[in-house]
């Protein structure tokens, strides 16, 4: 009898371990020391003080020994060398294959810069001692966050809902009657001006419950985190407020992870009224959208994680000799003179393209699915909202959540129609028109593969 009971217990324990869908989450502080070069602008700004901390937040998903890892950093983005080093460390320390790991950045503009191998590195002094110290430590901190998350794996159920945040985000490119070029972040508008494109009001909410308690949430919305402004204090911007409020309200022990969607052309300034919500207001409004969606969370099926990724080679833009000469001229004076954001962005892009003319422009597209109803797409850059909407529309999944600035970045990725309209994002884009559509095509192909493998 006792033997039989033991056998039953053993059997139950083993089968529970073998078949369970498990999730663990953790966060590790990645706030830099004072004096660390900040990103987001075309000049050096050393950090001084902290408004709120930065984290590497991780959700590890596992079933039958197969893991998928989702890491989001409170940083302006991700660069390939850091991603590669972090994946290697994760593989060594956690035994999880590097290509099962997604690492994205929230795009906060109040965090440290990462080296890009361009003039930006000199402008931001990212290769100064404090910059190098920060970047060298980062892969280890990311791996630590994954290690902690993996050690907390518990059986969970997953549920998802899509909330709406209307009137929070705005397309920052505006078309004016009779003007060919789109106006970028206009100071004022006429009644005849119209946004050059849409916004994506969807707030993706994916929650994992263990024994009735939420242990992790993955939140998704598309909007530039530029609400803190150009100061020198460190901040996670609105995603920091958003995730903190969601955890406070729905489960104090829950780790809430925010991934930014396709927000290449999306900001928080209402260009009609000129209104700019504060960081606190933006985070609070998004948390209210998540609150409203919470009661409609629907359980989703779960299975062994399926991960696909593909390296996509994009074609670099081409420049005339005159454009290159002008950019070189400007570069020589850019450290002492402010030529304005758009001309400086253009010069940086031209010089990087010249420097790297024999280096392929490669971005990784990655898709993670562990449910028939939901998939996560990771894209390598600042992707225009039109491209994200195209993926969501054509995706075979009911819910498709997108993380931009993931697994490295190819810079801005506008949709094809936006190229002739010019201005900031277009002159900053490394890839020629059609690059974004190529990423969409690969994302949809991979979504098809994880939806129906074999």
Question: Would you say 77 or 305 has its CB closer to Zn ion?
Answer: 77
Q: What does the alpha-carbon distance between residue 317 and residue 354 come to, in Å, rounded to a whole number?
A: 10
Classified as helix, coil or strand, 160 is strand
CB of 430 to Zn ion, least distance (A): 14
Site string for Zn ion, 216-245 (x = CB under 5 A): ------------------------------
Neighbouring-strand partners of residue 205: 161, 219
Question: Would you say 202 or 404 has its CB closer to Zn ion?
Answer: 404
CB of 437 to Zn ion, least distance (A): 20
Q: Are strands 154-155 and 21-29 parallel, antiparallel or unpaired?
A: antiparallel
CB of 226 to Zn ion, least distance (A): 8
Which residue, 329, 320, 334, is CA-closest to 119? 334
Number of residues that bind Zn ion (CB under 5 A): 1
Which residue, 217, 242, 221, 168, is CA-closest to 388? 221
Question: Would you say 352 or 382 has its CB closer to Zn ion?
Answer: 382
**Which region, judged by CB under 5 A, interacts with Zn ion, from 59-67, 96-104, 232-240, 374-382?**
374-382
Classified as helix, coil or strand, 403 is strand
Dihedral-angle region of residue 354 (phi above 0 means left; psi in -120 to 50 means alpha; beta otherwise):
alpha
Angle 68-80-149 from CA coordinates, rounded to 5°: 30
Question: Would you say 144 or 382 has its CB closer to Zn ion?
Answer: 382
Place of tokens 């420049």: 319
Taking CB atoms, the residue at the shortest distance from Zn ion is 382
Q: Map the footprint of Zn ion across residues 54-73, applying CB under 5 A.
A: none
Q: What does the alpha-carbon distance between residue 432 and residue 428 come to, in Å, rounded to a whole number?
A: 11
Q: Map the footprint of Zn ion across residues 376-415, applying CB under 5 A.
A: 382
CB of 293 to Zn ion, least distance (A): 26
CB of 382 to Zn ion, least distance (A): 5
What's the sign of the alpha-carbon dihedral 58, 439, 136, 114? negative
Query: Cβ of 158: how many Cβ atoms within 10 Å?
Result: 23
Question: Would you say 144 or 404 has its CB closer to Zn ion?
Answer: 404
The phi, psi pair for 377, rounded to 5°, reads -110, 135
CB of 238 to Zn ion, least distance (A): 14
Classified as helix, coil or strand, 80 is helix
Question: Would you say 62 or 382 has its CB closer to Zn ion?
Answer: 382
**Which region, judged by CB under 5 A, interacts with Zn ion, from 81-89, 296-304, 352-360, 375-383?**
375-383
Question: Would you say 116 or 150 has its CB closer to Zn ion?
Answer: 116
CB of 428 to Zn ion, least distance (A): 9
- Summarize as ranges the residues that interact with Zn ion (CB under 5 A): 382
């Amino acid at each position: 009898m006792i033997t039989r009971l033991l056998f039953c217990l053993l059997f139950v324990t083993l089968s529970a371990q073998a078949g369970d869908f498990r999730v663990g989450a953790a966060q590790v502080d990645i706030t830099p020391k004072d004096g660390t070069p900040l990103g987001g602008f075309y000049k050096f700004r050393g950090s001084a003080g902290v408004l709120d901390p930065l984290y590497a937040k991780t959700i590890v998903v596992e079933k039958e020994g197969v893991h998928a890892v989702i890491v989001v950093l409170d940083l302006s983005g991700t660069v390939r060398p850091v991603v590669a080093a972090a994946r290697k460390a994760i593989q060594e320390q956690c035994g999880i294959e590097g290509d099962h790991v997604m690492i994205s950045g929230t795009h906060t503009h109040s965090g440290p810069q990462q080296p890009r191998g361009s003039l930006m590195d000199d402008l931001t002094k990212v290769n100064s001692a404090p910059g190098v110290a920060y970047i060298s430590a980062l892969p280890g901190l990311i791996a630590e966050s994954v290690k902690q998350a993996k050690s907390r794996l518990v059986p969970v159920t997953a549920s998802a809902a899509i909330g709406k945040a209307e009137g929070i985000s705005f397309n920052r490119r505006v078309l004016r009657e009779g003007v060919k070029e789109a106006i970028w972040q206009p100071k004022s508008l006429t009644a005849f001006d119209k946004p050059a494109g849409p916004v994506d009001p969807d707030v993706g909410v994916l929650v994992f419950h263990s024994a009735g308690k939420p242990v992790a949430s993955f939140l998704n919305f598309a909007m530039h985190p530029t609400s803190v402004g150009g100061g020198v204090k460190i901040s996670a911007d609105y995603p920091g407020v958003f995730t903190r409020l969601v955890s406070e309200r729905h489960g104090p022990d829950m780790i809430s992870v925010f991934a930014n969607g396709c927000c290449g052309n999306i900001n928080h300034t209402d260009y009609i009224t000129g209104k700019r919500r504060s960081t606190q207001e933006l985070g609070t409004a998004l948390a209210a959208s998540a609150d409203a969606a919470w009661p409609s969370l629907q359980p989703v099926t779960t299975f062994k994680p399926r991960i696909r990724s593909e390296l996509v080679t994009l074609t670099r833009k081409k420049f005339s000799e005159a454009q290159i000469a002008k950019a070189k001229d400007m570069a020589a004076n850019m450290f002492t003179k402010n030529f304005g954001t758009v001309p400086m962005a253009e010069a940086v892009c031209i010089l990087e393209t010249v420097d790297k003319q024999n280096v392929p422009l490669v971005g990784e597209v990655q898709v993670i699915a562990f449910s028939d109803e939901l998939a996560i797409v990771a894209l390598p850059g600042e992707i225009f909202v039109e491209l994200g909407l195209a993926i969501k529309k054509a995706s075979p999944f009911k819910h498709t959540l997108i993380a931009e600035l993931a697994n490295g970045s190819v810079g801005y990725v506008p949709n094809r129609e936006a190229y002739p309209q010019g201005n900031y994002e277009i002159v900053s884009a490394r890839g020629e028109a059609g690059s974004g559509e190529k990423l969409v095509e690969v994302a949809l192909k991979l979504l098809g593969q994880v939806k129906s493998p074999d």
